[in-house]
Structure 1
Amino acid sequence: MTTPIVIEGWRDVPPALRGATIAMGNFDGVHIGHLSVLRTAHAARPDLPLAAVTFEPHPREHFRPDDQPFRLTLLPAKAAALGAAGATAVFAIPFDADLAAMEAEAFVDQVLHRGIGARHLTCGADFAFGHRRGGDVALLERLAEARGIGVSIAPFVTDAGGPISSSRIRRFLQDAYPERATLALGRPWEVRGEVVHGDKLGRVLGWPTANLWFGRHLEPARGVYAVTVVLPDGREVPGVANVGRRPTLGGDPQTRLEVHLFDFAGDLYGQEIGVRLVAFLRPDAKFDGLETLKIAIAQDAAAARAVLAAPA
């Protein structure tokens, strides 16, 4: 697994990072379709370093800032997944008003050619770029060829439901199908965040939890999940998690992710962990009291242990 160098911009790129074969896209989730773009880029020019060009924030976040959070991966997780796929560098191009207004030809010339010194470009067949998405792959090929840059178009990766896409994966998660998201991503979907203090009720009930906010991550279907948790030291621990607003306790204004780690003792407050959704167990529910809630949590934990112990 490669730990890529992350360059947040396209100006003043060090000479050692110029001259790569470039995979381009938003890469939200870095799913198996995105991995095809990286493989195509490497296959086209295996003699060159492999790098990725992506955009931060996601263009949708720039144009529609009031939308509900929808991201599958934020930049650190995205870069790690791209590195795992072989990218030695990730160019995170700031998507701001200036870039949004940049015409397609200027993007190729200033950003890709002069800025990062691309030697070869690869994207999906639906890649669009430039002001008002005015550039398509045909224009990219013409503009790149004029500058001595090769272009390869990666084929779509499809399953029975059609092309794999970030939007389909979001629907899988919002419809409570994390297993389908896992197949499309090539790994379980993970929420990374800092463990924050709660009201310690889980500890009182005998089920202490680590609490995270979703932040800019997509909110999946509310309910109970079998999960695995990646600790700060890299260890992976099984557990059970609830995504919800705690209706039994009167309801919260913000959805939280509460995770009970099996057979674990330790202080995680203030540390970053990753919670990987493995299976959906049941929808969020309101119980008639804390004792009933405690019984339900015990049943959820037993169900999660059974799922996680089952052969893959």
Structure 2
Amino acid sequence: MELLRGIHNLNAQHRGCVLSIGNFDGIHLGHKAVLSRLVLEAERLQVAATVMIFEPQPAELFSGDNAPARLSRLRDKFVQLAKQGVDRLLCVSFTHKFANISAEDFIEDLLIKKLDVKFLVVGDDFHFGYQRQGDFKLLQAAGQKYGFAVVDTQSLLQQQQRISSSRIRDFLALGELQQAASMLGRKYSITGRVGHGQKLGRTIGVPTANLLLKRRVSPVCGVFVVSILGINGKTYQGVANIGQRPTVQGIRQQLEVHLFDFNADLYGLQLEVVLEKKLRDEVRFDSFTQLKIQIDKDIQLAREWHQLHADKS
């Protein structure tokens, strides 16, 4: 799948496509229904199946740390979209300048002149352009004028209970991993590159791989049973803490994962940490000794969980 970072990288070869626009946060089953239709239309019209997303997500630009927790980073979206058969991902830099483009210019300059859209799928509540003046009706009128079909995602998702990123986010915040997985179509996971931490875990015999969470707010927090992918094609078992680590005066959100029966250098590796079960919330302990006692309990519970589910995974 081709990744285009910015509108300025569009050229003549990118004209003529079927297009869907949105955050696609999490790439859940609802998104997959849209993408399936998109790919079918692309094959029918013999053009590229293209997805347009924004970085940062609009709410993150306008609301900052008060924006909803993000389910997936750009890299995660790229991986999942590629699995769905999308040909091209256009990542638009969402700035205040871009947000101030008029709805009419968005349609004429981007959708028509630069992309020559043949088929468009957007959310029925999709708004765009200066002060969000563009809406689905305006796109329908443009489709009639320029000759492309416009459909909304609601027409593609004939479901009793609509799947949404916000509902998945709520389930994750409550530690309801199974409900979140049922909407995602897969277990929720976090990916990231292993960096250097404080190395405090080594002092108590519990070395951890530290993944810096490159997002404003994490949708999950606490201690989890996890499976770890990305090491020599194998799946490893472990336990992870996601949060600010209050006992050691942590100041930023971080994912610390302890791999069972593993002793090798992981620095620089891109890992995927799959959340299997939430054990408890993150709490502050009065001493490092108390923290060590609780970590030992967490490890024992996580090992027992993995042993119990070894034949079911």
Whether the TM-score (by the shorter chain) exceeds 0.5 is yes
Quote the offset at 1:134 in angstroms. Answer: 1.5
**In structure 1, C-alpha distance between the alignment counterparts of 2:4 and 2:245, rounded to whole Å:** 40
**In structure 1, C-alpha distance between the alignment counterparts of 2:216 and 2:122, rounded to whole Å:** 25
- Paired AA for residue 272 in structure 2: G
**In structure 2, C-alpha distance between the alignment counterparts of 1:59 and 1:269, rounded to whole Å:** 33
Q: Is the 8 A contact 1:73 1:217 kept in 2?
A: no
Quote the offset at 1:84 in angstroms. Answer: 1.0
**In structure 2, C-alpha distance between the alignment counterparts of 1:217 and 1:172, rounded to whole Å:** 19
Aligned ranges for residues 217-236 of structure 1 at < 5 Å?
A: 218-231=217-230, 234-236=233-235
2:29 maps to which residue? Answer: 32
1:146 equivalent to 2:151? Answer: no
* Residues 1:158 and 1:170: Cα distance change in structure 2 (over 3 Å): farther
Q: Is the 8 A contact 1:11 1:116 kept in 2?
A: no
Quote the offset at 1:201 in angstroms. Answer: 2.3
Quote the offset at 1:203 in angstroms. Answer: 1.7
Q: 2:38 aligns with which of 24, 41, 47?
A: 41
* Residues 1:254 and 1:56: Cα distance change in structure 2 (over 3 Å): closer
Quote the offset at 1:301 in angstroms. Answer: 1.9
Q: Is the 8 A contact 1:32 1:157 kept in 2?
A: no
2:243 maps to which residue? Answer: 244
Aligned ranges for residues 259-270 of structure 1 at < 5 Å?
A: 259-270=257-268
**In structure 1, C-alpha distance between the alignment counterparts of 2:213 and 2:109, rounded to whole Å:** 36
Q: 1:305 aligns with which of 303, 306, 313?
A: 303
Aligned ranges for residues 272-311 of structure 1 at < 5 Å?
A: 272-287=270-285, 289-309=287-307, 310=309, 311=312
2:254 maps to which residue? Answer: 256
Instruction: State the aligned residue count.
Output: 307
2:5 maps to which residue? Answer: 8
**In structure 2, C-alpha distance between the alignment counterparts of 1:69 and 1:209, rounded to whole Å:** 28
Quote the offset at 1:46 in angstroms. Answer: 2.8
* Residues 1:266 and 1:139: Cα distance change in structure 2 (over 3 Å): same
Q: Secondary structure at the match of 1:102?
A: coil
**In structure 1, C-alpha distance between the alignment counterparts of 2:133 and 2:3, rounded to whole Å:** 27
2:54 maps to which residue? Answer: 55
- Paired AA for residue 222 in structure 1: C
- Paired AA for residue 121 in structure 2: T
Q: Deviations for 1:193-237, whole angstroms, at most 9, x for unmatched residues?
A: 232222322122222101122231532443210112222655432
Higher helix share: 2
Q: Is the 8 A contact 1:229 1:274 kept in 2?
A: yes
* Residues 1:113 and 1:255: Cα distance change in structure 2 (over 3 Å): same
- Paired AA for residue 256 in structure 1: Q
**In structure 2, C-alpha distance between the alignment counterparts of 1:62 and 1:34, rounded to whole Å:** 23
- Paired AA for residue 106 in structure 2: F
1:18 maps to which residue? Answer: 15
CA RMSD of aligned residues (A): 2.4
**In structure 2, C-alpha distance between the alignment counterparts of 1:116 and 1:169, rounded to whole Å:** 32
Q: Is the 8 A contact 2:65 2:216 kept in 1?
A: no
Q: Is the 8 A contact 1:195 1:269 kept in 2?
A: yes
Q: Is the 8 A contact 1:70 1:170 kept in 2?
A: yes
Q: Deviations for 1:237-293, whole angstroms, at most 9, x for unmatched residues?
A: 2211012333444x3222322100122222112333222222111122344544443
**In structure 1, C-alpha distance between the alignment counterparts of 2:165 and 2:179, rounded to whole Å:** 12
Quote the offset at 1:6 in angstroms. Answer: 0.6
Q: Is the 8 A contact 1:224 1:243 kept in 2?
A: yes
1:187 maps to which residue? Answer: 186
**In structure 2, C-alpha distance between the alignment counterparts of 1:97 and 1:68, rounded to whole Å:** 16
Q: Is the 8 A contact 1:248 1:287 kept in 2?
A: yes
Q: Is the 8 A contact 2:59 2:67 kept in 1?
A: no
1:212 equivalent to 2:236? Answer: no
Aligned ranges for residues 106-121 of structure 1 at < 5 Å?
A: 106-121=105-120
- Paired AA for residue 128 in structure 1: H
Q: Secondary structure at the match of 2:104?
A: helix
Among all aligned residue pairs of Structure 1 and Structure 2, give the percentage whose two residues are the same amino acid.
Answer: 36
**In structure 1, C-alpha distance between the alignment counterparts of 2:73 and 2:104, rounded to whole Å:** 28
**In structure 2, C-alpha distance between the alignment counterparts of 1:233 and 1:23, rounded to whole Å:** 36
**In structure 2, C-alpha distance between the alignment counterparts of 1:274 and 1:218, rounded to whole Å:** 18
Unaligned runs of 5+ in 2: none
2:71 maps to which residue? Answer: 72
**In structure 1, C-alpha distance between the alignment counterparts of 2:180 and 2:217, rounded to whole Å:** 13
Quote the offset at 1:28 in angstroms. Answer: 1.4
**In structure 2, C-alpha distance between the alignment counterparts of 1:230 and 1:203, rounded to whole Å:** 22
